[in-house]
Amino acid sequence: MELLLASAIGVFTAAGVYLVLRPRTFSVVMGLSFLTYAINFFLVSAGRLAVNMPDILAKGKELADYADPVPPALVLTSIVISFGMTAIMVVMGVRGYFENDSDHVNITATEEIIARSRE
C-alpha cells in the first residue's frame, strides 16, 4: 500500500509540474490542482496508513492503536483553501482571456500586448 501511495504522489507531482510549465491558463490551473492532490496524499500518508482505527482515546487502549486525527484535518483545510484558490485562478484566467483575446501565460506575448496598448 505504501508503494501505491508513494507512486500516486510521484505521478501527481510530475503531472502537476508538467502542466504548470505549459503556456495556457487552463493547463496551469489543472497543474496546480494536481499539485494540491499530491500534497493532500502526502499529508494523509504522514498520518500513517491506519485502517479501522479510532480517532478518540479510550481507557485501556494503547496509544499505538489510534489513528492520528491531525492529517485529515489538515487535508480538509487544504481542500477548502485549494477550492477557493482554483476559483480565483479560473476567474483571473477568464478575465485575462476576454481582455487580451488569448489565454497564453507567455512573457513575450504579455510584453507584446502591453506594447500594443501603449500605442
Q: Residue 31's domain is classified under what CATH number?
A: 1.10.287
The DSSP symbol for 21 reads T
Cβ-based neighbours of 90, under 8 Å, separated by 6 or more? 29
How many domains does one find in the chain? Answer: 1
Termini Cα distance of the chain:
60
Q: What is the mean pLDDT of each run of 10 residues along the chain (119 residues)?
A: 88 95 88 93 77 66 68 88 92 84 70 72
Amino acid identity for residue 54 in this structure = P
C-alpha cell belonging to residue 66: 489510534
pLDDT value of residue 31: 94
User: What whole-number distance in Å separates Cα of residue 66 and Cα of residue 20?
Assistant: 38
Range of the domain at 31: 2-118
pTM higher than 0.75: no
Rounded CA-CA distance 37/35 in Å is: 5
Matching residue, cell 477568464: 94
48 φ/ψ sector (left φ>0, alpha ψ -120 to 50, else beta): left
